[in-house]
């Protein structure tokens, strides 16, 4: 998986919120073996160095961190949070979130484009959490984003891929761009379905963190991502409305 100038063997990205304990989090990450792990940095966390402490915890496992601007409802707040995250974690990578609605956590696509333009000019490597709207994604690419992260469904909903046709259209429009389905995946089959569409990776959090056995669920998602990618590369058969016999008619007995 290509993320700007970095290449990763894994196509799975995992969030780090909502886990019942640091030990459970660490066990889940070991099981998932993700390319990147996301962490939300708030102003108060940066002030008391909690962000740096979290970096140390993740760094013990050897995973790269992807800071995000989760919980930001304005362009100014998202840009400021990204700038603080760069100082704390020492990376130009940023998962950009600008939220429009507190209930659905749908991206504010207008603010998202504005913030992406500011951050790209400032040298950030932006991974925007967006909808699958083609016009919005075109604007994000024009801003300088070479990675897009369209949602599958609202964050934490577990609904899976709400708009498979829209996601497929986005994949077709940007065949060479890194596309990662972010949010709403509930079970491993959802992740596999995203990979079968030709997506480069998936990012999830709640489905693992809230599982009865997070480490086992992390393993399941890791396997599903690999299976889905392998299926895409193998080339699936085209759906048909009628049956097609697998047994040849030649040699069949007739009366």
Radius of gyration over alpha carbons of the chain, in Å? 20
Does 62 score more than 90 pLDDT? Answer: no
List of domains in the chain: 11-234 (3.20.20.70)
Q: Given this model, what pLDDT does residue 43 score?
A: 40
141-148: list long-range contacts, CB under 8 Å, 24+ apart: 141/174, 141/177, 143/113, 143/116, 143/117, 144/116, 144/117, 144/120, 145/116, 145/120, 146/4, 146/177, 146/178, 147/3, 147/4, 147/177, 147/178, 147/179, 147/180, 148/174, 148/177, 148/178, 148/179, 148/180
Q: How far apart are CA 158 and CA 186, in angstroms?
A: 4
Q: What are phi and psi of 181, to 5 degrees?
A: -75, 125
Give the residue-averaged pLDDT of 145-173. Answer: 96
Quick check: 98 and 112 in contact, CB under 8 A? yes
Q: What percent of the chain has pLDDT over 70?
A: 91
Residue 247 has pLDDT above 80, yes or no: no
Q: What is the pLDDT of residues 180-211, one digit of tens each?
A: 999 999 999 999 999 999 999 999 999 999 99
Q: Is 43 exposed, middle or buried (0-12, 13-18, 19+ CB in 10 A)?
A: exposed
Q: Give CA–CA dist 66/13, Å, rounded.
A: 9
pTM, full prediction: 0.89
Mean pLDDT of 216-236: 96
pLDDT tens per residue, range 97-112: 999 988 888 999 999 9
Of 41, 39, 31, 36, residue with least CA distance to 6: 36
Q: Could you give phi then psi for residue 19, rounded to 5 degrees?
A: -70, 145
d(CA 125, CA 236): 34
Give the model confidence (pLDDT) of 2-50 as tens digits: 999 999 999 999 999 889 888 899 999 999 999 999 988 764 354 455 5
All residues at 6 or more sequence positions from 33 whose CB lies less than 8 Å from its CB, including other chains: 10, 12, 222
The response to whether 131 counts as a known ligand-binding position is no
Say which DSSP state 154 is in.
Answer: S
DSSP structure class, residue 132: S
Residues marked as catalytic: 95
**184 annotated among ligand-binding-site residues:** yes
pLDDT at position 59 is 76
Residue whose pair of structure tokens reads 């799975």 in the numeric block: 12
| 14-23, 40-49, 72-81, 240-249: segment of lowest average pLDDT | 40-49
Other CB atoms within 10 Å distance of the CB of residue 151: 25
Q: What is the pLDDT of residue 241?
A: 84
Determine the Cα–Cα distance for residues 207 and 183; give it in Å rounded to an integer. Answer: 10
Lowest mean pLDDT among 67-81, 171-185, 237-251: 237-251
- What burial class does residue 60 get, using C-beta atoms within 10 Å of its C-beta: 0-12 exposed, 13-18 middle, 19+ buried? exposed
Annotated binding residue 156: yes
pLDDT interval class at 55 (50, 70, 90): low
What confidence score (pLDDT) does residue 250 get? 66
């Amino acid at each position: 998986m290509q993320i700007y100038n970095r290449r990763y063997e894994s196509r799975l990205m995992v969030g780090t919120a909502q886990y019942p304990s640091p030990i459970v989090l660490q066990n889940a990450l070991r099981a998932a073996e993700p390319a990147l792990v996301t962490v939300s940095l708030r102003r108060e966390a940066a002030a008391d160095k909690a962000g740096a402490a979290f970096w140390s915890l993740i760094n013990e496992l050897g995973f790269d961190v992807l800071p995000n601007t989760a919980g930001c409802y304005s362009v100014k707040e998202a840009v400021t949070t990204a700038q603080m995250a760069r100082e704390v974690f020492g990376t130009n990578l940023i998962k950009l979130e600008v939220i429009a609605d507190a209930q659905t956590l749908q991206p504010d696509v207008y603010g998202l484009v504005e913030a992406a333009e500011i951050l790209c000019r400032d040298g950030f490597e932006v991974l925007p959490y967006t909808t699958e709207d083609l016009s919005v994604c075109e604007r994000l690419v024009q801003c300088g984003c070479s990675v897009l992260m369209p949602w599958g469904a609202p964050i934490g909903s577990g609904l899976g891929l709400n708009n498979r046709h829209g996601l497929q259209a986005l994949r077709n429009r940007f065949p060479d761009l890194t596309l990662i389905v972010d949010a709403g995946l509930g079970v491993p089959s959802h992740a596999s379905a995203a990979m079968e569409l030709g997506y480069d990776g998936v990012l999830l959090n709640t489905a693992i963190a809230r599982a009865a056995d997070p480490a086992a669920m992390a393993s399941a998602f890791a396997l599903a991502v690999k299976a889905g990618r392998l299926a895409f590369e193998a080339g699936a058969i085209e759906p048909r409305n009628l049956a097609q016999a697998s047994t040849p008619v030649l040699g069949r007995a007739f009366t």
